[in-house]
């Protein structure tokens, strides 16, 4: 099977210097991989490099295409980073979830409707959040799940999740984990960065130590 | 009528007496402005008398190249002033500012002198230079406010811009909300001055023409043309500088470069 995201000898840079070297990744559809490491190890920098939001060197491919052959905004619609801390893109819940659909990269596709929004919010434990609720009133944990739904519905091939379960109670964290597993089961893939225990069922684990990317089983 | 009553050296000296009063006030009240007042006044003397001499020479020479050269010189100085005024903006804005000011400055000035006022010849310095100066000066103000607001707004939206980029937005799509508020900020002073003209104040050009003996109705018509063209030049200059300048906040991969990290 062709990898949905591939990194060969990638260096993730910040401020002109390599923060993490030797990133090797072959992510197949259906796989979730875990990236661990202490705070400040460079997990975010690696995710940003994979999304082409930070400078990088080496070889990146998605679905057989070299990164250099795909315009950056199209690449990011395929390989979508959900940043930490989460960011609101509109004043209210429904417009926030619709925000990606105002972008040109999705103009050919049909946006999801309120029923889909409702189903997704319920699945992630946000049943009490109305679609017209002000986003400013949400907690960090609620906002994080909203941002995850926004990215999921935008139709990426790969999700890059930066600390997706920070600020979440165990029930909400479990829901997030199961939702991402469903995304992978439907042919997607995810790279999850966190400093807690890896999610159950991840295909592989990696660790960043002293600026080096290494396989951790 | 034969123009304004001339002001000789004696009268200029008398006018300076008023300035001495301001400087004296600053001394007595310890405002710490005495030196600034004197320097500013000296500069105004030297610069304006020099301008008078230069303009008199230019009016006498009678070649379009000289007039176009002077317009070009004003645009270069305006672009330098622009980059000096934009603190915290990304580098590399001089050429883009220069381009925006050149297009708006030349087009609007020559459109007004050649098509509206219909001066003959089209480069008649008595019209082209003062009108060009007003167009370029006002465009400069609009463009400076517009770009300043643009980059400040972009910087304050760093996380939102990154989140939008992560979802597949192009740089321009992330910039759009900031571009709107920047354009508004750039255009509002001009719109306000159009709305207040004639009631709150008598605009400078009309004042000058009335003092020099022009029929106030003619002076009013000129002033209207000037106000309209200033707002056109400000709008054109601001839009162009925005289109040319916003890319400086992103690198070639479309990554945002104004944030802290």
* In chain A, residues 53-82 whose CB comes closer than 8 Å to chain B: 53-55, 72-74, 76-77, 80-82
Instruction: Give the SS3 label for residue B72.
Output: helix
**Final residue belonging to a domain, choices B61, B81, B100:** B61
B45 and B115 assigned to the same domain? no
Region of poorest pLDDT, from A5-14, B152-161, B196-205: B196-205
Please say whether the beta carbons of A6 and A159 come within 8 A: no
**Is residue B260's pLDDT more than 60?**
no
Residue B107 is assigned to a structural domain of this protein: yes
Residue B256 is assigned to a structural domain of this protein: no
Q: Are strands A189-193 and A17-27 parallel, antiparallel or unpaired?
A: unpaired
A205 vs chain B: nearest CA distance in angstroms? 24
**Is residue A217's pLDDT more than 80?**
no
B78 and B178 assigned to the same domain? yes
DSSP state letter for B90: P
* Mean pLDDT (whole number) for B98-125: 89
Which is more confidently placed, A40 or A89?
Answer: A89
Neighbours of A185 (CB within 10 A): 11
Share of chain A above pLDDT 70, in %: 100
Question: Which of chain A's residues have a Cβ under 8 Å away from the Cβ of B260?
Answer: none
Question: Which of chain B's residues have a Cβ under 8 Å away from the Cβ of A88?
Answer: 160
B164 vs chain A: nearest CA distance in angstroms? 8
Question: Which of chain A's residues have a Cβ under 8 Å away from the Cβ of B157?
Answer: none
| Cα B49 to Cα B58: distance, rounded to the nearest angstrom | 14
| B79-115: b (≥16 Cβ within 10 Å) or e | bebbbebbeebbeebeebbbbbbbbbbbebbbebbbe
B173 and B199 assigned to the same domain? yes
Which is more confidently placed, B21 or B162?
Answer: B162
**Is residue B144's pLDDT more than 70?**
yes
Interface A–B counts its CB contacts (< 8 A) at 68
Judged by CB atoms closer than 8 Å, whether chains meet at A81 and B166 is answered as: yes
Please say whether the beta carbons of A36 and A208 come within 8 A: yes
pLDDT score, position B209: 87
pLDDT category at B147 given cuts 50, 70, 90 is very high
| Cα A174 to Cα A26: distance, rounded to the nearest angstrom | 26
State chain B's maximal CA–CA distance in angstroms: 71
How much is the mean pLDDT over chain B?
88
Instruction: Give the SS3 label for residue A46.
Output: helix
Mutation target among A103, A143, A155 for the B interface, most CBs of B within 10 A: A103
Which of B166, B173, B251 is nearest residue A51 as measured by Cβ atoms? B166
Instruction: Give the SS3 label for residue B171.
Output: helix
The domain total for chain B is: 2
* Mean pLDDT (whole number) for B67-75: 93
B255: contact with A, CB 8 A cutoff = yes
pLDDT score, position B22: 84
Contacts (Cβ under 8 Å, ≥6 apart) of A100: A106, A150, A151, A153, A154, B167, B168
Instruction: Single out the residue of B72, B93, B90 nearest to residue B82, CA to CA.
Output: B93
Judged by CB atoms closer than 8 Å, whether chains meet at A89 and B253 is answered as: no
> How far apart, in Å, are the Cα atoms of B213 and each of B4, B35, B217, B218, B260?
6, 37, 11, 10, 58
**Is residue B261's pLDDT more than 50?**
no
In this predicted model, what pLDDT tens digit does every residue of A126-155 receive, in sequence order?
999 999 999 999 999 999 999 999 999 999
Element housing A70 (H / E): none
B42 and B145 assigned to the same domain? no
Instruction: Single out the residue of A183, A172, A77, A181 nearest to residue A126, CA to CA.
Output: A172
Judged by CB atoms closer than 8 Å, whether chains meet at A53 and B166 is answered as: yes
**Final residue belonging to a domain, choices B40, B61, B82:** B61
B53 and B73 assigned to the same domain? no
Mutation target among B167, B171, B176 for the A interface, most CBs of A within 10 A: B167
Share of chain B above pLDDT 70, in %: 98
Asked, as a colleague might, if the bond just before B121 is cis with ω within 30 of 0, I would say yes
**Is residue A190's pLDDT more than 60?**
yes
A107: contact with B, CB 8 A cutoff = no
Residues linked to residue A66 through DSSP beta bridges, in sequence order: A61
- Whole-complex ipTM: 0.95
In this predicted model, what pLDDT tens digit does every residue of A15-57 receive, in sequence order?
888 999 999 999 999 999 999 988 889 999 999 999 999 999 9
Judged by CB atoms closer than 8 Å, whether chains meet at A73 and B169 is answered as: yes
pLDDT score, position B259: 64
pLDDT score, position A115: 96
- Domain range for B169 is 63-249
Residue B147 is assigned to a structural domain of this protein: yes
B87 and B142 assigned to the same domain? yes
In this predicted model, what pLDDT tens digit does every residue of B20-55 receive, in sequence order?
888 888 888 888 888 888 888 888 889 999 989 998
Chain position carrying tokens 């645009």: B75
Residues linked to residue A193 through DSSP beta bridges, in sequence order: A35, A162
B120: contact with A, CB 8 A cutoff = no
B85 and B168 assigned to the same domain? yes
pTM of the predicted model as reported, rounded to 2 decimal places:
0.85
pLDDT score, position B1: 44
pLDDT score, position A43: 94
pLDDT category at B2 given cuts 50, 70, 90 is low
Question: Which of chain B's residues have a Cβ under 8 Å away from the Cβ of A109?
Answer: none
B254: contact with A, CB 8 A cutoff = yes
Element housing B15 (H / E): helix B9-28
Instruction: Give the SS3 label for residue A148.
Output: helix
């Amino acid at each position: 099977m062709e990898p949905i995201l591939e990194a060969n000898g990638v260096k993730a840079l910040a401020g002109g210097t390599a923060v993490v070297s030797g990133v090797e990744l072959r992510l197949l559809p259906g796989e979730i991989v875990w990236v661990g490491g202490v705070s400040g190890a460079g997990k975010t920098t690696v995710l940003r490099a994979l999304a082409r939001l930070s400078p990088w060197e080496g070889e990146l491919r998605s679905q057989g295409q070299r990164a250099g052959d795909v315009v950056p905004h199209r690449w990011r619609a395929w390989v979508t980073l959900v940043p930490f801390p989460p960011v609101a893109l509109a004043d209210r819940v429904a417009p926030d979830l619709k925000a990606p659909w105002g972008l040109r990269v999705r103009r050919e596709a049909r946006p999801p409707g309120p029923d889909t929004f409702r189903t997704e919010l319920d699945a992630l434990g946000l049943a009490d959040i109305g679609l017209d609720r002000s986003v400013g009133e949400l907690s960090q944990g609620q906002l994080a799940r909203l941002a995850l739904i926004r990215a999921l519905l935008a139709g990426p091939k790969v999700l890059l999740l930066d600390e997706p379960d920070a600020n979440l109670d165990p029930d909400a964290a479990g829901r997030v984990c199961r939702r991402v597993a469903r995304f992978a089961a439907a042919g997607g893939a995810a790279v999850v960065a966190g400093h807690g225990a890896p999610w159950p069922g991840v295909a592989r684990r990696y660790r960043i130590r002293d600026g080096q990317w290494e396989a951790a089983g | 009528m034969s123009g304004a009553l001339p002001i000789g050296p004696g009268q200029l000296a008398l006018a300076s007496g008023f300035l001495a009063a301001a400087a004296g006030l600053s001394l007595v009240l310890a405002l710490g402005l005495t030196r600034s007042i004197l320097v500013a006044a000296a500069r105004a003397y030297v610069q304006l008398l020099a301008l008078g001499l230069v303009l008199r020479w230019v009016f006498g020479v009678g070649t379009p190249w000289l007039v176009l050269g002077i317009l070009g010189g004003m645009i270069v100085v305006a672009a330098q002033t622009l980059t000096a005024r934009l603190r915290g903006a990304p580098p590399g804005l001089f050429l883009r500012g220069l381009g925006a000011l050149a297009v708006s400055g030349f087009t609007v000035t020559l459109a007004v002198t050649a098509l509206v006022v219909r001066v003959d010849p089209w480069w008649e310095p008595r019209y082209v230079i003062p009108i060009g100066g007003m167009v370029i000066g006002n465009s400069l103000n609009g463009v400076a406010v517009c770009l300043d607001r643009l980059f400040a707004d972009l910087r304050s939206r760093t996380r939102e811009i990154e989140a939008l980029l992560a979802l597949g937005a192009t740089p321009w799509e992330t910039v759009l909300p900031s571009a709107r508020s920047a354009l508004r900020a750039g255009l509002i002073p001009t719109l306000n001055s159009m709305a207040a003209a004639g009631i709150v104040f008598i605009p400078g050009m009309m004042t000058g023409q009335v003092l020099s003996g022009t029929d106030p109705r003619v002076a009013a018509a000129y002033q209207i043309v000037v106000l309209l063209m200033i707002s056109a030049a400000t709008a054109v200059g601001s839009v162009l500088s925005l289109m040319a300048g916003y890319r400086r906040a992103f690198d070639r991969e479309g990554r945002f470069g104004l944030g802290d990290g």
